[in-house]
Structure 1
């Protein structure tokens, strides 16, 4: 299934790895944001092995609580990926013409409960939607809303491939 939109439960994904994130929630959010941008800009799309043959058209990262201080809300895009053999290398003025830009990454700050914001973002997104979370109660709500769900570990696997 090639999802057009990914929605990422940042708190759940960050919390899936015991790397000291609890000491610096804003820093953990900033690191996750940077890793997602790097994944989206990868020249060789690694998610094909996970059933996602093409990058999504849009990615939404939902931040809540103290993590909101780590990344401003809004949309960022990675540069178009550079592939070996592109004329003049990564700085080529033709780079964007040769390769489409990476999917935009929208950062949404949850005003209240992050789960409610994630369900709302998934419900308003272009289908099919894939949400990364391991929260069982949230998974149930998302499936009822028509979204596909994969655990936080699935996203970490993709991030670790880039």
Structure 2
């Protein structure tokens, strides 16, 4: 059910950041913690502050998808990288670089 997140993108991003806070310690199903969790923010949500919850904020100066691809490209080949997205184009771009992809339902929202 839509919650109107598009009317307050910064507020939605802050809620997502806070909901992800437990993941660095607990991990995801099939990906045990500790893990590094990076939240890429763009546009009006870009200025959401870092919080002490362990989720690293990366701010995209342009496209958030491009920032995610750059981050994946910058990881070492031996490092397991998982991108959470529903975007088909982004899925194709990051899997071509060796990342795994999971849907948004795999993380708390």
Shorter-chain TM range is: 0.7 to 0.9
- Structure 2 CA distance for partners of 1:149 and 1:46, relative to 1, 3 Å: closer
The structure with the largest helix share of the pair is: 1
Residue-pair matches, total: 107
RMSD: 2.0
1:106 matches 2:106? no
Structure-2 residue corresponding to 1:64: 42
The two structures have a TM-score, normalised by structure 1, of 0.59
The two structures have a TM-score, normalised by structure 2, of 0.84
- Specify which structure has the bigger relative contact order, considering alpha-carbon pairs within 8 angstroms and separated by 6 or more residues: 1
Unaligned runs of 5+ in 2: none
Bigger Cα Rg: 1
> Secondary structure of 2:86's match?
coil
- The 8 Å contact of residues 85 and 91 in structure 2, kept in 1 or not, is answered as yes
Structure-1 residue corresponding to 2:17: 33
Aligned-residue offset at 1:53? 2.6
Give the Cα–Cα distance (whole angstroms) in 2 for the partners of residues 66 and 154 of structure 1: 25
Unaligned runs of 5+ in 1: 1-16, 79-103
Moved segments of 4+, more than 6 Å: none
> Secondary structure of 1:141's match?
helix
Structure-2 residue corresponding to 1:7: none
> Secondary structure of 1:145's match?
coil
